Amino acid sequence: MGELLVEKADHIATITLNRPERLNAISVPMLDALSAALVEADKDPDVRVIIITGAGRGFCAGLDLQDQQSGSGIGSQSGGVGATVGRFDLRDAPPTVLHAVDKPTICALNGGAAGYGMDLALGCDIRIASDESKLSAAFTKRGVLPESGGTWLLPRIVGWSKACEIMFTGRTLKPEQCLELGIVSEVVPAAELMPHVRALAAEIAANAPLAVQGTKRMMRMGQDETFEANVHHVYLQLLPLFRSKDFKEGVQSFLEKRKPEYEGR
């Protein structure tokens, strides 16, 4: 079995980090596979929601420090996308790809997420945590900084002051703390995590996919533009939806008082 597993069913793509013996620490092959899996799921018309989780008792322990020590890890000359000092290019790196994905993404936080793993979780649209999970902002304790989106994401989620406190101290957060800060939407018993997340994904997938993706796109753009600009972009996004088959189905199913059957067209 590979270091990354992808399963597709019922309009849901589940991407599982699969190095349980290393608490799913990120290797260079995993980075490349994760980017490719995200791009494929985003392009697949049958996929409407993406779930990201980890195998075993950990979500992701961060970058593989054993690879770093051997000189083959991320940041080395042989360390994969964006690693070569002479050409620093992150266009195809997972954090950038994840941010650009139009399909809704849900992190099923099944265990510890440290460093890169924390950034990966923060990059998802929705985070549901197991009661056995934790987030560890251990970057400064290892002599680095949040390299994969954390410096942009965390202040927007929890506010500037609290983000500084968490990042500067390298603090580890328990699931209850994550819930209180709004980092995760829910905390559920470990045994119920994946059924709960799949039920949420199914609820999202039952809606008109073009409308869901357009909503996400407009919310993402709205973080960096004025209200007036966002309203304008929303209107332009709305026009093609009015001409879609799904919009007609939505109206017709409402009038007929039945469950809609959307096709993403």
pLDDT in tens, 68-101: 555 555 555 555 555 444 445 677 889 999 999 9
CATH number at residue 126: 3.90.226.10
244 inside domain: yes
- Shared domain for 201 and 235, answered yes or no, is no
- Shared domain for 65 and 175, answered yes or no, is yes
133 inside domain: yes
- d(C-alpha 129, C-alpha 228), whole Å: 36
Q: What's the rounded mean pLDDT across residues 54-72? A: 79
- Shared domain for 192 and 79, answered yes or no, is yes
Range of the domain at 217: 209-255
93 inside domain: yes
Banded pLDDT at 225 (limits 50, 70, 90): very high
Give strand pairing partners of 188: 130
- Shared domain for 135 and 222, answered yes or no, is no
- d(C-alpha 177, C-alpha 25), whole Å: 24
Residues with Cβ within 8 Å of residue 128, at least 6 apart in sequence = 106, 107, 108, 109, 184, 185, 186, 187, 188, 193, 196, 197, 200
Token pair 């093609």: residue: 240
CB 8, CB 44: distance < 8 Å: yes
Tens of pLDDT along 189-204? 999 999 999 999 999 9
Banded pLDDT at 63 (limits 50, 70, 90): confident
- Shared domain for 60 and 112, answered yes or no, is yes
Q: Number of folded domains in the chain?
A: 2
- Shared domain for 73 and 145, answered yes or no, is yes
CB 261, CB 206: distance < 8 Å: no
Q: What's the rounded mean pLDDT across residues 50-75? A: 79
Q: What's the rounded mean pLDDT across residues 226-248? A: 95
263 inside domain: no
- Shared domain for 242 and 146, answered yes or no, is no
φ/ψ of residue 113, rounded to 5: -130, 110
- d(C-alpha 79, C-alpha 151), whole Å: 22
- Judged against a pLDDT cut of 90, whether residue 219 lies above it is answered with yes
Altogether, the residues listed in the chain come to a count of 265
- Shared domain for 150 and 246, answered yes or no, is no
Give the pLDDT confidence score for residue 85 in this predicted structure.
Answer: 42
- Shared domain for 30 and 108, answered yes or no, is yes
Q: What's the whole-number average pLDDT of the chain?
A: 91
158 inside domain: yes
Alpha helices (runs of H) in the chain, residue ranges in sequence order: 28-43, 65-70, 94-100, 116-122, 150-158, 160-169, 175-181, 193-205, 209-222, 227-242, 245-255
CB 264, CB 48: distance < 8 Å: yes
Give the pLDDT confidence score for residue 147 in this predicted structure.
Answer: 83
Q: Which helix (H) or strand (E) holds 133?
A: none
262 inside domain: no
Give the pLDDT confidence score for residue 87 in this predicted structure.
Answer: 46
Tens of pLDDT along 99-109? 999 999 999 99
- Shared domain for 194 and 244, answered yes or no, is no
Q: What's the number of CA atoms in the CB half-sphere (13 Å) around residue 259?
A: 4
CA 46 to chain centre: 19
- Shared domain for 60 and 143, answered yes or no, is yes
- Shared domain for 162 and 35, answered yes or no, is yes
**Burial class of residue 145 in the structure, from the number of CB atoms within 10 Å of its CB (0-12 exposed, 13-18 middle, 19+ buried):** exposed
- Judged against a pLDDT cut of 50, whether residue 247 lies above it is answered with yes
Tens of pLDDT along 122-170? 999 999 999 999 999 988 888 888 888 999 999 999 999 999 999 999 9
261 inside domain: no
φ/ψ of residue 94, rounded to 5: -50, -45
Rounded to two decimals, the pTM is 0.90
107 inside domain: yes
**Residue ranges with strand state E in 67-117:** 105-109, 112-114
Q: Please, what is the Cα angle at 17 between 133 and 72, to 5 degrees?
A: 110
